[in-house]
A = this chain, B = another copy of it.
Amino acid sequence: MYSSSQTDNARPFLTWQRILDWAQEHYRYRIFNRDEKVPARAGLLYLVHRGAIRLVGNSQISASLKQKHSTSRIPLVAAEEAFLGFVGAGQPFEIVAQSPFNLQSFAHIDQTAVIWLYWHDLDNWPHFRREVLDAFRHQHQRKLLWLSTLGQRRTIDRLLGFLTLLIEEYGEPCEQGYYLPWTLTHAQIGSAIGSTRVTVTRLMGKLRQRNLIQHYGDNLICMPTEAVHQQRA
């Protein structure tokens, strides 16, 4: 949980433990396999206990399919799915169904454990509710930064901005710098930045040539410390 004092040490372990006990007692706790859909409903609040959630958006808007008196016989293409970010352990998420887009949540890794509650269940833990709401404030600010980078015209800038934001938020230290502890396919990255798998593969190569990113371990992305510093300069 993103706590108001912004340090891990201040994390309210006691409250978490109580909520965890309560959730298991009330069958509000479930473990998901990798890529399994978390059937989140509007009006409920979800807390990630372990693992990571992947948020995905489905667009039902397409300018081309809406032509009046269209005589096209081309079958409707599957709605484009966009990767919208991760929700890590200790973080809350919620899905409010809103046309013309459709938000969904998936376990991004095996053994992802999720608790769910009604908002009024938090009446017993007002401090915790405040923290949940502060966590959403924080997530909202992060999404504004994400929108900033998606407004950039050149795809390579959007790609670098996107990776920088993810590693800034979820990165774990390694010898070379910081790495993103979860894999993302090039198709998933493309779906986040309005590009294609092929283009992402090509541009990732360019970023590696310029030493702005590196491979790490088994298919993970690392950002060397000097690249991070350069960008902040």
Contacts and interface: CB of A to CB of B under 8 A. Distances in A.
A10 interface: no
A230 B133 contact: no
A60 to B, nearest CB: 7
B231 A61 contact: yes
Interface in A1-32: none
Contacts of A141: 94, 96, 98, 103
A14 B186 CA distance: 52
Interface residues on A, range: 35 or more
Contacts of A194: 150-153, 158, 194
A221 interface: no
A93 to B, nearest CB: 10
Contacts of A158: 194
A222 interface: no
A33 interface: no
A231 B144 CA distance: 26
Nearest to A196: B153
B153 A84 contact: no
Contacts of A63: 154, 156-157, 159-160, 206-207, 210, 212
B98 A149 contact: no
A67 interface: yes
Contacts of A227: 66
B145 A103 contact: yes
Contacts of A66: 160, 210, 212, 227, 230-231
Given A59-B157, A143-B144, A153-B196, 4 more contacts: A68-B211, A80-B153, A103-B144, A136-B137
Closest 9 CB pairs of A and B: A82-B151, A57-B148, A133-B133, A140-B140, A143-B143, A63-B156, A101-B148, A101-B145, A150-B150
Interface of A: 55, 57-64, 66-68, 80-85, 94, 96, 98-101, 103, 130, 133-134, 136-154, 156-161, 164, 190-196, 206-207, 210-212, 227, 230-232
